[in-house]
Structure 1
Amino acid sequence: MFTLSNQGDVNASTYNYVAYCFAPVVGYSSMGSYVGNGSSDGVFVYTGMRPRFILIRSTGVENWIMIDTARDAYNIVKNQIIANGSDAEADFSSFPIDILSNGFKLRNSGGRVNGSSTTYIYAAFAESPFNYSRAR
């Protein structure tokens, strides 16, 4: 459940709005937040699975960044898409990320994904969802 304010940007009676709501599912998806450290030895974000696709955005003014293992099959992952921009896929060498078996590690000090004391939200979806589930 969420509540909208009475501001026209998010709750005007003459407009239709869409809300995309996600919830984490063990072995399939992970959603959450992390605080950047502004270091080239960046933050490690535990997801509990190897991500195939990651969506990241700061709670400030940065763009939505999409990263996946289809564009870069090996680490360091540098090819990214700006989800809310008109840019095409680009090589963001200054914002590299390692995709690991249990999460992702930021390998930069940039504000786009690892600004010092900046809070980021993310959604990550598994490379092999439910691959290692334990049936009874």
Structure 2
Amino acid sequence: TFSLGTEPSVNWNAENYVAYCFHSVEGFSKIGKYTGNGSATEGPFIYTGFRPDWILIKALSGAENWVIYDTARDTYNELDSVLYANSSNAEFSGTTVNTDALSNGFKPRDTWSAINGSGTTYIYMAFAENPFKYSNAR
């Protein structure tokens, strides 16, 4: 359970709200947090237990965008095409937004403050490319 508290921006009288609640499911999804290290080449490794197909990242502090990576648009590493979940802007690509989708997790590869600021805490959601523990078994 969770509580809205009394803050008007999330619990105003006579207003409707939606809460999206997620949890990790082994072999399908991983929801968690990590701390950035600010490295341009060796960002923190985030273990998911699967190769992620879709990743959403958000810095807990500051006004950074909600960043989305996926392997449908970038079929190999480094993933460098991002969408912003909180914006209607078009896809953005660049050399400073790189992240690797690995066989068992993901790793930011740049100092971009939206994914790997030194000492910054991030929340993330990742969904598997091939869901469930033995998805390739016959």
TM-score (norm 2): 0.93
Instruction: Kindly report which structure 2 residues correspond to 1:76-91, keeping only aligned pairs within 5 A, or say none.
Output: 76-91=78-93
The separation in 2 between residues aligned to 1:47 and 1:58, in whole angstroms, is: 18
Q: Secondary structure at the match of 1:113?
A: helix
| Cα displacement (A) at 1:131 | 5.3
| Cα displacement (A) at 1:95 | 1.2
User: Which stretch shifts more, 45-54 or 83-92?
Assistant: 83-92
Task: Verify the 8 A CA contact 2:43 2:110 in the aligned structure 1.
Answer: yes
Aligned counterpart, 1:17: 17
| Cα displacement (A) at 1:14 | 1.4
Q: Secondary structure at the match of 2:9?
A: helix
The separation in 1 between residues aligned to 2:50 and 2:113, in whole angstroms, is: 25
Give the % identical residues.
Answer: 52
Q: Which amino acid aligns with 2:51?
A: R
The separation in 2 between residues aligned to 1:65 and 1:110, in whole angstroms, is: 11
The separation in 2 between residues aligned to 1:110 and 1:88, in whole angstroms, is: 19
Q: Which amino acid aligns with 1:106?
A: P
Q: Which runs of 5+ in 1 are unaligned?
A: none
Deviations 1:49-107 (A, max 9, x none): 01010000000121100100001000010001011012111103211000001000110
| Cα displacement (A) at 1:12 | 1.0
Q: 1:96 aligns with which of 98, 116, 124?
A: 98
TM-score (norm 1): 0.94
Aligned counterpart, 1:49: 50
Residue 110 in 1 paired to residue 108 in 2? no
Q: Alpha carbon RMSD of aligned pairs, Å?
A: 1.3
Q: Which amino acid aligns with 1:24?
A: S
Instruction: Kindly report which structure 2 residues correspond to 1:125-136, keeping only aligned pairs within 5 A, or say none.
Output: 125-130=127-132, 132=134
Task: Verify the 8 A CA contact 2:51 2:129 in the aligned structure 1.
Answer: yes
Q: Secondary structure at the match of 1:74?
A: coil
Aligned counterpart, 1:65: 67
The separation in 2 between residues aligned to 1:7 and 1:127, in whole angstroms, is: 38
Structure 1 consecutive aligned stretches of length 4 or more whose deviation exceeds 6 Å? none
